[in-house]
């Protein structure tokens, strides 16, 4: 066993080294904050990846004992069916508990650990496909560190002298796509090895991973089912009944594992609040096909390799990629578009990256030999490593001032944890409302992420209207306020409802503002006691720097704690 491990380390030391570097680059901003900016750091982390505070809050929710994740941010709705399965967050949370880490610490550790593991899985998948270690190394670095190079707007931002925030490396985003991609590539590797070896171990691994994909990410399991369907057609055309049977059995096994998820999804889809969240998630009805430009490049690369009779062409690899193009066009058959950009970035793009790189690699080898291939791979890996570092460096630089300014929130968060009962509900600014569930066991009165869960329209409106009320907006100023704050209205009430159909989230008809104004007038007519007690509200955290104009009745609140410009008030 030890000799076998030594042999593996000797043969694959390059990917082991690269995996460690990738893991470290994923947590680079957290390291920088705790070293070079340690003099300023008071405990509020840099959560700059897209929706990172949402994912960490879900991890904290598991710490708090609400493993179902029916509603992460509000006190109401904990027992509702979940939209996003809790499997990945629960796995990270239990790992954190075992290692005596809090939710923020285990989030950082998970970035490193799963970044390292994902690097290994992608490497061995590409190696299994093409039997070339340099190519596998290059593809791994391209997918995980060079993804910014797959988008022209991102390339322009990368080359711009202006400091811009890339929201960090795409795969440094916790939970999705980091862990879900580990499941996806793990399945692609396991099924490929089963296809070639007929191993019972890989058969079982394939069924388990496909089953777990249902609990990971809807874009992953839908893609993998499409791939299995295409593989079944391919094996049937080849009259390979053994692989036809195995593919069907693996799919059946996965559906058995996925049964609790499917039951929950059915319950959720029949809930009276479902239509609202369906629209806010950006889902809409259409049969229009979608052209993925980078996916088209991947397809052209495959055609080029086919014409050149390149080793880049393998039936399994081509079917896996074609399945991604079918999945991104799911709405052609289903009539419902479920945010195709998630398919684009997390399924189509990484697979297209493999085939574009593979096509180039084998073509260079054909015309210039192995030395040129080695030189190309070495150069590309260096480029991807520099790109990954540069994206992380510039992203942190763009967020540095905000991150250091947010350290002023740390004393308040510490005081709340020591002095406020668990499960209390706190009203605060948008920033604080997103961070309180990350660092504490408390709920908030509203959050920018709450609309992504099952929630009644009345509860959604009440949370937003209380914000507007505290801003001192009167009945006569309401319509003008809503007109001048359309982005805020969209963020709090509509989310992605109009983004894909009308071009932007705030591109909704002004008639909706008329209706909103009337609803706000009715809200004001209810009276202050009803406004603050209809839904649970225990404390207010007033950040005077962010919201200097907040107004509320002194007899309704009592000042408990002050830290700089931030005041904690008890609501009676």
On whether residue 256 sits in a domain, the answer given is no
pLDDT value for 165: 55
Q: Are residues 125 and 80 in the same domain?
A: yes
Q: Is the pLDDT of residue 553 over 90?
A: no
Q: Are residues 512 and 380 in the same domain?
A: no
450-462 pLDDT, tens digit per residue, is 999 999 999 999 9
pLDDT band per the 50, 70, 90 thresholds, residue 3: low
Mean pLDDT within 20-47:
96
Contact by Cβ (8 Å): 89, 146: no
On whether residue 56 sits in a domain, the answer given is yes
On whether residue 250 sits in a domain, the answer given is no
Mean pLDDT within 241-262:
96
At 46 the three-state DSSP class reads coil
On whether residue 208 sits in a domain, the answer given is no
> How distant is the alpha carbon of residue 57 from its chain centre?
13
pLDDT value for 513: 94
Q: Are residues 386 and 426 in the same domain?
A: no
Who has greater pLDDT, 558 or 254?
A: 254
User: In sequence order, which residues have a C-beta less than 8 Å from that of residue 518 and are 6 or more positions away?
Assistant: none
Q: Are residues 69 and 26 in the same domain?
A: yes
Identify the helix (H) or strand (E) that includes residue 426.
Answer: strand 425-427
Report the chain's terminal Cα–Cα distance, integer Å: 66
Both tokens of residue 406?
A: 């947010």
pLDDT value for 85: 94
Nearest CA-CA partner of 485 in 505, 500, 499: 505
Q: Are residues 419 and 555 in the same domain?
A: yes
On whether residue 353 sits in a domain, the answer given is no
Q: Is the pLDDT of residue 410 over 80?
A: yes
pLDDT value for 264: 93
Q: Is the pLDDT of residue 475 over 60?
A: yes
Q: Would you call the peptide bond into 177 cis, given omega within 30 degrees of 0 as the criterion?
A: yes
Q: Are residues 375 and 475 in the same domain?
A: no
On whether residue 273 sits in a domain, the answer given is no
Q: Is the pLDDT of residue 20 over 60?
A: yes
State which residues form the domain around 479.
Answer: 408-571
100-123 pLDDT, tens digit per residue, is 999 999 999 999 999 999 999 999
pLDDT value for 161: 74
321-370 pLDDT, tens digit per residue, is 999 999 999 999 999 998 888 999 999 999 999 999 999 999 999 999 99
pLDDT value for 2: 55
How many Cβ atoms are within 10 Å of 133's Cβ, its own excluded?
A: 16
Who has greater pLDDT, 152 or 554?
A: 152
Contact by Cβ (8 Å): 74, 439: no
pLDDT value for 372: 94
How many separate helices (H) and strands (E) can be counted in the chain?
A: 28, 7
- Which residue do the tokens 């008329």 mark? 514
Q: Are residues 399 and 476 in the same domain?
A: no
Handedness of CA 465, 471, 475, 481 (dihedral sign): negative
Nearest CA-CA partner of 217 in 184, 260, 187: 184
Both tokens of residue 32?
A: 């920088």
Q: Is the pLDDT of residue 533 over 80?
A: no
pLDDT value for 555: 56
CA 223 – CA 319 distance, rounded (Å): 12
Last residue within a domain, chosen from 404, 427, 459 = 404
CA 60 – CA 51 distance, rounded (Å): 14
Q: Are residues 468 and 551 in the same domain?
A: yes
pLDDT value for 135: 97
On whether residue 54 sits in a domain, the answer given is yes
What's the chain's average pLDDT?
93
216-229 pLDDT, tens digit per residue, is 999 999 999 999 99
pLDDT band per the 50, 70, 90 thresholds, residue 6: low
Q: Is the pLDDT of residue 315 over 70?
A: yes
Nearest CA-CA partner of 446 in 462, 435, 468: 462
pLDDT value for 303: 94
Nearest CA-CA partner of 191 in 177, 178, 202: 202
Q: Are residues 386 and 446 in the same domain?
A: no
The lowest-confidence range among 190-194, 257-261, 556-560 is: 556-560
Q: Are residues 450 and 380 in the same domain?
A: no
Q: Is the pLDDT of residue 532 over 60?
A: yes
What's the total number of domains in the chain? 2
Q: Are residues 384 and 482 in the same domain?
A: no
Sheet holding 443-444, edge to edge: 443-444, 425-427, 539-543, 566-571, 557-563
Buried/exposed code over 108-121 (b: 16+ C-beta within 10 A; e: otherwise):
bbbbbbbbbbbbbb
Q: Where are the alpha helices (H) located in 64-102, listed in sequence order? A: 87-98
Q: Is the pLDDT of residue 425 over 90?
A: yes
pLDDT value for 12: 86
Contact by Cβ (8 Å): 92, 56: no
What single-letter DSSP state applies at residue 548? Answer: T
The lowest-confidence range among 79-93, 197-211, 363-377, 547-561 is: 547-561
CA angle 247/250/253 to nearest 5° reads 150
382-391 pLDDT, tens digit per residue, is 999 999 999 9
What single-letter DSSP state applies at residue 517? Answer: H
pLDDT value for 528: 60
Global confidence as pTM: 0.94
Q: Are residues 384 and 436 in the same domain?
A: no
On whether residue 267 sits in a domain, the answer given is no
CA 470 – CA 572 distance, rounded (Å): 16
47-83 pLDDT, tens digit per residue, is 988 889 999 999 999 999 999 999 999 999 999 999 9
């Amino acid at each position: 066993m030890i000799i076998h491990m030594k042999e593996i380390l000797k043969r694959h030391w390059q990917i082991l080294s690269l995996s460690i570097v990738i893991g470290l680059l994923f947590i680079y901003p957290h390291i920088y904050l705790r070293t070079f900016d340690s003099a300023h750091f008071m405990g509020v982390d840099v959560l700059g990846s897209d929706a990172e505070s949402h994912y960490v809050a879900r991890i904290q929710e598991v710490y708090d004992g609400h493993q179902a994740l029916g509603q992460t941010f509000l006190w109401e709705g904990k027992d509702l069916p979940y939209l996003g399965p809790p499997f990945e967050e629960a796995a990270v949370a239990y790992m954190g508990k075992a290692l005596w880490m809090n939710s923020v610490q285990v989030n950082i550790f998970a970035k490193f650990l799963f970044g390292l593991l994902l690097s290994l899985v992608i490497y061995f998948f590409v190696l299994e496909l093409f039997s070339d270690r340099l190519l596998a190394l290059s593809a791994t670095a391209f997918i995980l560190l060079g993804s910014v190079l797959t988008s022209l707007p991102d390339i322009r931002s990368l080359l711009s002298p202006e400091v811009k925030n890339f929201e960090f490396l795409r795969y440094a985003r916790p939970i999705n796509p980091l862990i879900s991609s580990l499941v996806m590539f793990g399945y692609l590797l396991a099924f490929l090895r089963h296809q070639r070896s007929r191993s019972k171990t890989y058969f079982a691994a394939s069924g388990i991973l496909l089953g777990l994909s249902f609990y990971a990410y809807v874009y992953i399991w839908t893609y993998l089912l499409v791939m299995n369907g295409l593989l079944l057609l391919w094996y049937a055309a080849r009259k390979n009944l053994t692989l036809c049977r195995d593919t069907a059995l693996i799919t059946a096994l996965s559906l058995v594992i996925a049964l609790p998820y499917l039951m929950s999804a059915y319950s959720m889809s029949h809930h009276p609040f479902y239509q609202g969240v369906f629209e806010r998630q950006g889902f809409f009805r259409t049969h229009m096909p979608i052209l993925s430009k980078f996916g088209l490049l991947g397809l052209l690369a495959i055609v080029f390799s086919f014409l050149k009779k390149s080793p880049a062409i393998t039936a399994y690899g081509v079917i896996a990629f074609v399945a991604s193009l079918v999945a991104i066009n799911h709405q052609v058959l289903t009539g419902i578009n479920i945010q195709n950009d998630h398919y684009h970035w997390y399924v189509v793009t990484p697979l297209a990256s493999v085939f574009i790189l593979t096509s180039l690699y084998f073509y260079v080898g054909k015309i210039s030999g192995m030395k040129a291939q080695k030189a190309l791979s070495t150069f590309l890996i260096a480029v991807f490593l520099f790109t990954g570092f540069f994206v992380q460096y510039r992203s942190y630089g763009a967020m540095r001032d905000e991150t250091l300014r947010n350290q002023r929130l740390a004393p308040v968060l510490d005081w709340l944890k020591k002095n406020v009962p668990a499960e209390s509900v706190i009203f605060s600014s948008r920033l604080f409302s997103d961070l309180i569930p990350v660092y504490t066991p408390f709920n908030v009165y509203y959050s920018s992420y709450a609309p992504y869960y099952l929630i009644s329209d009345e509860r959604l409106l009440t949370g937003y209207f209380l914000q507007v009320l505290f801003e001192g907006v009167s009945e006569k100023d309401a319509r003008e306020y809503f007109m001048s704050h359309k982005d805020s209205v969209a963020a709090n009430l509509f989310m992605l409802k109009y983004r894909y159909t009308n071009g932007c989230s705030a591109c909704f008809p002004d008639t909706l503002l008329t209706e909103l104004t009337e609803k706000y007038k009715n809200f004001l007519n209810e009276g202050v006691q009803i406004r603050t007690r209809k839904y649970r509200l225990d404390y207010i955290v007033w950040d005077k720097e962010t919201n200097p104009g907040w107004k509320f009745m002194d007899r309704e609140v009592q000042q408990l704690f002050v830290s700089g410009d931030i005041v904690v008030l008890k609501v009676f």
